Amino acid sequence: MSELRVSIESYRGRSFEVGEGVGAHEQMKDVQQRCEHFVQPINIEEARTVYQHFAPHLLDEMEGMSETLSISLNDALTLFSGYDLPKLEGLGCTALMTDQGYVRNYDFGPDYYDGRLILRQPSECYATCGHSLLGIGLHDGMNEHGLTVGLHFVSTRLHQKGLMAGIIVRMVLDTCRTVEEAIILLKDLPHADEYNYSLTDASGKSSVVEIGPSGSEVRCKATLYCTNHFQKSNSPQATESSIQRLTYLENHPIVKVEKWFDEFRNPFSPLFFRDYDNLFGTLHTVMMNPKERLFKTVIAGGEEVITIHFQDWVNGGTVNNRNISVTL
């Protein structure tokens, strides 16, 4: 038995100030050490160029982080930019999208998990709420316009120099308002590996973008299911787990999003996994209602549902910054 701790954090101000806050949190040292174990030297000027083109405010955020961590900005770019990383292990993610909202499980190992749910409201971009990935990235989340995004690993077979998926999710949420805008940006960004990106927005539109170094395909439908293989593109061999999860979703009776949320977070569901030692345990479940700007999450099948009325927070409200512990 082990304990998983997740912090709920909120930051407002200039991107530099947000970075200072994110970097000063006690869990940032663990994130830094984790990154130091697998990052490699990168071309700093190439990374800067990518960020200056797509999300210059994130350079400011990393600078703020570097100040509180007492490292150089170049070291912060190397550790946290998500640019030109080595091939990373695969992970599992299952998502459902309807005009009522979005539900998703993230499955991986706790040793590679930030354990941070972060609300950010930088003055230079849109406010976001989501589960942190390697400091500035996001596994999934929602922005102030109701756009929601989640990542789904597919393959490293075409691995090349580019951005990791968590940074891509962050850039999309920081700068896009709708699914249409997100698709345009996703096609323009430099992708290191093949991923699915599941999307919904406040209009009720949903899409899955199957994308990687070789190109992209887009799936649009009233109800969409997404796991860890391409359904439309010429794809690598799908894993048995990915196919089984998709089949279960497709054959499940039609229910409301709230019922799906209960299904996804249920430890006895075929969509929930406990193989944490082998990098396949459910670490969080999210439900996002873009129209109402409602964000709900449960950590690792725990009993507590964390509910955030994100529009209220964007308008100046508060959240209870605290830590949650769950036994795995």
Q: What is the pLDDT of residue 88?
A: 76
Residues 62-88: what's their mean pLDDT? 95
In the chain, the percentage of residues whose pLDDT exceeds 90 is 91
Q: How confident is the model at residue 228 (pLDDT cuts 50, 70, 90)?
A: very high
Confidence at residue 147, expressed as pLDDT on a 0 to 100 scale: 98
pLDDT tens-digit map of 259-276? 999 999 999 999 999 999
Average pLDDT over residues 71-79: 97
pLDDT tens-digit profile of 110-147?
A: 999 999 999 999 999 999 999 999 999 999 999 999 99
Within 10 Å of residue 322's Cβ, how many Cβ atoms?
10
Residue 207 pLDDT > 80: yes
Helix (H), strand (E) at residue 261: helix 257-265
Read off the pLDDT of each residue in 239-245 and give the average, rounded to a whole number: 94
The predicted pLDDT at position 51 comes to 98
Residue 30 CB burial class (10 angstroms; 0-12, 13-18, ≥19) = middle
Instruction: Report pLDDT for 72.
Output: 97
Q: Average pLDDT in the 273-299 region?
A: 95
Q: Bridge-partner residues for 12, per DSSP?
A: 121
Query: How remote is the C-alpha of 301 from its chain's centroid?
Result: 18
Pairing, β 128-133 against β 306-309: unpaired
> What is the pLDDT at residue 76?
97
Q: Is 131:114 a contact under the CB 8 Å cutoff?
A: yes
Res 90 pLDDT > 90: no
- pLDDT at residue 248, as a whole number: 97
Q: What is the pLDDT confidence band of residue 279, given thresholds at 50, 70 and 90?
A: confident
- For residues 321 and 26, the answer to whether their CB atoms sit within 8 Å is no
- Given this model, what pLDDT does residue 252 score? 95
> How confident is the model at residue 317, as a pLDDT?
97
- Report the distance separating Cα 173 and Cα 145, nearest Å: 9
Confidence of residue 154 (pLDDT cuts 50, 70, 90): very high
**Confidence (pLDDT) at 87:** 85
Question: Can you say how many angstroms the Cα of residue 203 is from the centroid of all Cα atoms in its chain?
Answer: 21
Separation of alpha carbons 223 and 99, rounded Å: 7
**Closest to 45 measured CA to CA, from 17, 12, 13, 77:** 77
Mean pLDDT of 283-312: 97
Mean pLDDT of the chain: 95
CB atoms within 10 A of CB 274: 13
Task: Report how far residue 235's alpha carbon sits from residue 219's, in angstroms, rounded to the nearest whole number.
Answer: 14
Q: Mean pLDDT, to the nearest integer, of 293-320? A: 97
User: What element of type H or E holds 210?
Assistant: strand 206-212
Element at 142 (helix H, strand E) = strand 137-143
N-terminal to C-terminal alpha carbon distance within the chain: 6
**pLDDT for res 2:** 87
Q: How many CA atoms lie within 13 Å of 143's alpha carbon, on the beta-carbon side?
A: 24
**Residue of 236 and 297 predicted with greater confidence:** 297
| Banded model confidence at residue 277, pLDDT cuts 50, 70, 90 | confident
> How much is the pLDDT for 237?
76
What gap in Å lies between CA 162 and CA 321, rounded to an integer? Answer: 34
Closest listed residue to residue 108, CA positions, set 90, 81, 133: 90
49 contacts 97 by C-beta, under 8 angstroms = no
Region 244-267: what's the mean pLDDT?
96
Helix, coil or strand: residue 145: coil
CB-based contact 280:107 (threshold 8 Å): yes
Q: Between 90 and 45, where is the model more confident?
A: 45
Buried b / exposed e over 51-90, threshold 16 CB at 10 Å, is beebbebbbbbbbbbbbebebebebbbbbbbbbbbeeeeb
Rounded distance between C-alpha atoms, residue 48 and residue 52, angstroms? 6
> At how many degrees (to 10) do helices 56-69 and 44-54 cross?
130
